[in-house]
Amino acid sequence: MTITFGDLRFRAARVAVAVLAAAVVFALAVLLSGLSSTFDREIATTVADAGADAWVVAAGSPGPLIVIQQAAVPATGPART
């Protein structure tokens, strides 16, 4: 099976959609890769700016930010009447 220029012209809309879909997938992959590396770099920058050697979290803790959010909410919640 070969693809000729005639096939591409005959199915121009299908080719355009396929090229656009491939471009969107590639753009999302690049975006997620950059976002992931930013998270890693942000942790290193935060620890370095604090003048610390490491980020210490209690064993079993999902992370320091999640613990802070959970501590701000009472365990029983507000009394309802």
Note whether residue 81 is domain-resident: no
* Alpha-carbon gap, residue 37 to 65, rounded angstroms: 19
Per the structure, the count of domains in the chain is 1
The model's confidence at residue 25, banded by pLDDT at 50, 70 and 90, is: very high
Note whether residue 50 is domain-resident: yes
Contacts of 8 by beta carbon, 8 Å cutoff, 6+ apart: 15
Per-residue pLDDT reduced to its tens digit, 45-76: 887 888 878 777 777 776 666 545 455 555 56
Note whether residue 11 is domain-resident: yes
Taking residues 10-24, what's their average pLDDT?
Answer: 92
Note whether residue 80 is domain-resident: no
Tokens coding 34: 């950059």
